[in-house]
Structure 1
Amino acid sequence: MAISRLLDRVYDAAGVLAGIAMIAIVLIILAQVGARLLAYPLRGGAQFAGYAMAAASFLALPHAFRRHAHIRITILLQALPPRPRLVLDLAGLAVGTVIAAWFAWWAYDLAYISWEIGEVSQGDVAVAMWIPQIAMVVGTALFAVALCHTLIETALTGRGFAPEGDGVLDAAADR
């Protein structure tokens, strides 16, 4: 399906952004170390590294989920016959979709309120809080979309999303 490939590209793009955020963390920390060696403290380094860590964490959610990189306890699913396994997998995806959508809504609400009231950070550098919160909104919204996408895909194909082989690489290769 073309829309499935498009969505997977969007999740991959979010994963790339998460990787860039992780590189930013390394660069910020290296800049802080270098600044300390030169006896010139770098203001806000820990603050911006924290924002990048949050961005990396939230933006990686949809990419990691679609690649079976999240921790998932499948011992029960693997012990069931195919039909009950599929039903339980669909139920888990449905519950996960609802929870992720709920979280995305409240993340959006938090960022909107921060923007509306002009909330700024209390760190060394004043930053409008809605700016770093955008990564949380985008990451959780894309995670909800990825869960819904997987729920629909699983329901249409009848193939469970949970890995069935010896490891996640087997399941990822089968998709």
Structure 2
Amino acid sequence: MIRAALRATDAACFAGAAVAAVAAAALAAMLIAEVVLTYFFATSQPWVIEYAIYLQAMILFCGSGWALRQGGHIRVAVLLHALPPRLARALDMLGTAFAIGTLGFLTRVMWLQWWRSVELGSISFYPMGTPVWVPQGLLTLGITLLLLAFVARLVRLLAHEAPDLGAGLAGGGHE
């Protein structure tokens, strides 16, 4: 059952990374179009700034869980590799537990804020008047995925498994 939960978390984080990739492509297309419109036609689209902000948040958080699993998050790998394996694992677990606590608090606050925006029918102050709960919901899902990825990482550390796949710059997990 734990393995199934870990696989489901990995799959959800991969889906989040796909959302982040689509958001990155949309952001690039939007900004290129904005530059062309501004340079050649001396006009600007009022919605570009608003949606660029939303897309940046989606890119950052929706792909973070997947990046963690790949070993792509910034951490002190040099220190971890310099320590004896048991101490490195214990330090990694401590840092992971701290991240879970911080993200747990943030996730709770974000879900409460999202629900409040839904209840109040909040809209953005930008010209498009976007219902704020839509981008907030995507951001909150991304943060929730990152929390789940850290929980999965801690479970793997406790099970003496490699906490990440080692594809990142940090060089992967430790024994």
TM-score by length of 2: 0.86
Aligned to 1:127: 130
Deviates more, 1:70-79 or 1:33-42: 33-42
Asked if structure 2 preserves the Cα contact closer than 8 Å seen for 1:93 and 1:151, the reply is yes
- Structure 1: runs of 5 or more not aligned: none
Q: CA deviation at 1:170?
A: 8.1
Matches within 5 A, 1:20-169: 20-36=22-38, 37-156=40-159, 158-159=160-161, 161=163, 168=168
Alpha-carbon distance in structure 2 between the residues aligned to 1:174 and 1:87: 11
Alpha-carbon distance in structure 2 between the residues aligned to 1:13 and 1:160: 22
Q: CA deviation at 1:139?
A: 0.8
TM-score by length of 1: 0.86
- Structure 2: runs of 5 or more not aligned: none
Cα 1:174–1:73 change in 2 (3 A) is closer
| Alpha-carbon displacement from aligned partner over 1:120-156 (angstroms, at most 9, x marks no partner) | 1111211111111112110111111110011011101
Alpha-carbon distance in structure 1 between the residues aligned to 2:146 and 2:156: 15
How many residues are aligned here? 172
Alpha-carbon distance in structure 2 between the residues aligned to 1:169 and 1:32: 34
Deviates more, 1:64-73 or 1:113-122: 113-122
Alpha-carbon distance in structure 1 between the residues aligned to 2:170 and 2:120: 49
Alpha-carbon distance in structure 1 between the residues aligned to 2:65 and 2:11: 11
Q: Secondary structure of the residue that 1:41 maps to in structure 2?
A: coil
Aligned to 1:18: 20
C-alpha RMSD of the superposition:
2.6
Percent of residue pairs bearing the same amino acid type: 24
Report which structure shows greater RCO (CA 8 Å, sep ≥6): 2
